[in-house]
A and B are shown apart, each in its own frame.
Chain A
Amino acid sequence: MISIQGIKKRFGEHEILKGVDLEIPPNKITVILGQSGQGKSVLLKMIMGLLTPDHGNILLQGQDLRDLGHDDRSQYAKKIGMLFQNAALFDSMNVEENVAFPLREHTKYSDAVIRETLETMLNDLGLPDIYQKMPAELSGGMRKRVGLARALVLKPEIMLYDEPTTGLDPILADSVDQLILNTGQKFGITSVVVSHDIEAAFKIADKIALLHEGVILEEGKPEEFRKSKKPFVQQFILGKAGEGFIG
């Protein structure tokens, strides 16, 4: 469904991605793992079209992102939903306005239909009766779920999750993992999750890829990934710092 071919990206003197090749299968959950600062979020933003690669191609159903004109790019963006690390809710709008925003921008639905759609969406995500709350009044988990509702309301074919459980307590993190799993199954969505949470990856992923030093070091199904012979993969799975990492 999404084919990432030879992606390179440099910020100033620092080359973050040095030739990333990855196939994202349709209707599955792919988790991209990696240490902090390895360029996982950069890669996700490139799939979303928010950043442009210096080299390489990203193909969606065979269509190269670089070949898209302005209107095609807009259509492309509507096919993809993204949950940002801190949800990126519009802080001048309440929950209802946030979730209804994509519908008001891209559809001609009446207010009644919009209200019904967002009621269904928010109930499905376990968020009834918070329509008038402002983002600042919400907990971290609620913000993530409202962000997810906003991303899902246009029924995207692909969902991108940027560190969805970072900063959440274990119980809340587990509920967000369940949410990703259920969303993928319920809506038949292709999901790409960027994370450094190895436990969550094994719980929800159909495919795991490890981004390390600018390239995909290992990829495969969770059981294949677990059996990898590469020392760094095993070190990452076990969560060991390794010699010389500190001091």
Chain B
Amino acid sequence: MLRRFLAYIGRPCADTIEGFGHFFRFSYQTLYWCLRPPWRTARLSQEMLAIGVNSTLIIVLVALFAGMVFALQTGNSFRLFGAETLVGATVGIALTRELAPVFTALMIVARAGSAMAAEIGTMQVTEQVDALKALAVNPINYLVVPKVLATTLMVPLLTALFNGVGILGAYLVAVHLLQIPEGPYLMRYRDFVDTGDLYQGLIKAVFFGLLVSLIACYKGYRTRNGAAGVGRSTTEAVVIGSVLVLVSDYFLATWLLKLFPDYPFQ
């Protein structure tokens, strides 16, 4: 009985441990090739355009409506306690610390992470990755490093954009729709939101960019079994990437709250 149970759980456990091993080896190789020539600046620019610049519109849209709905909900709730002037501070802190980096990372997973996994996966199953090796070009250096670097650089920039647009959306709803007085609204915002909040969000954004791009590229690189395999890799890249953004956010938040202890509510 025990033997059968161990046999039943043994294989999935061994596969999971092996999977972690492959992922960490892949991440090490990516880091190694980040620090080693050839530096592919043209490929990096292409990827920054595809991952970052081309995501601008969707980030602006999501940020605007996230800020607006957050202000609408908090404004109506806080009004019950006569604390509606705190809407700006609440939205500002929530956006800069949590919503902007997390939403941006989730948008990048959905838009760029899936594309990365599908592109590399298709190249893998059609032997284009082998062709790169046969032409004495390291596929990690050529395919993976530009994508990982571009995502790690662009997610913080998009997060900063998310912050700006989200705060603007919240301001428009709070001041012009809910008729919250502009002076106290802005003063509360200035009192409670500081650069520490911004840094926390941006540090998270760097980590999320690195994490989601490594997962997406890894899933693409390990693709086997043709078109069905590409579909599976793409789905796994999005699901695992999204879940890990949310899980790691908690642990990062715990660490960052210790790193920036001058938060006025503590």
Contact = CB atoms under 8 A, between A and B. Distances in A.
B136 A50 contact: no
Contact of B127 (A78, A88, A102): A88
The residue among B123, B130, B134 with the most chain A CB atoms within 10 A of its own CB is B134
A171 B128 CA distance: 27
Contact of B135 (A75, A77, A85, A86): A77
B135 A102 contact: yes
In the A-B complex, the 6 residue pairs with the smallest Cβ-Cβ separation, listed nearest first, are A77-B136, A88-B131, A88-B127, A82-B134, A74-B136, A84-B127
B135 A84 contact: no
A106 B134 contact: no
Given A84-B130, A91-B126, A105-B137, 8 more contacts: A45-B130, A81-B134, A84-B131, A89-B128, A89-B131, A91-B122, A150-B135, A154-B135
B130 A50 contact: yes
Interface residues of B, number: 12
A48 interface: yes
The B interface is mostly helix, strand or loop, or mixed, namely helix
A80 B127 contact: no
A90 B142 CA distance: 13
B150 to A, nearest CB: 16
B79 interface: no
Contacts of A88: 126-128, 130-131
A164 to B, nearest CB: 14
Contacts, number: 48
Contacts of A236: none
A65 to B, nearest CB: 13
Contacts of B128: 88-91
Contacts of A90: 123, 128, 131
A84 B122 CA distance: 16
Contacts of A131: none
B38 to A, nearest CB: 8
A82 to B, nearest CB: 4
Contact of A86 (B122, B126, B133, B136): B126
Interface in A128-156: 150-151, 154
Interface in A145-183: 150-151, 154
A232 interface: no
A48 B134 CA distance: 7
13 contacts: A48-B134, A49-B133, A50-B134, A75-B136, A78-B136, A82-B131, A84-B130, A88-B127, A88-B128, A88-B131, A91-B122, A91-B128, A106-B136
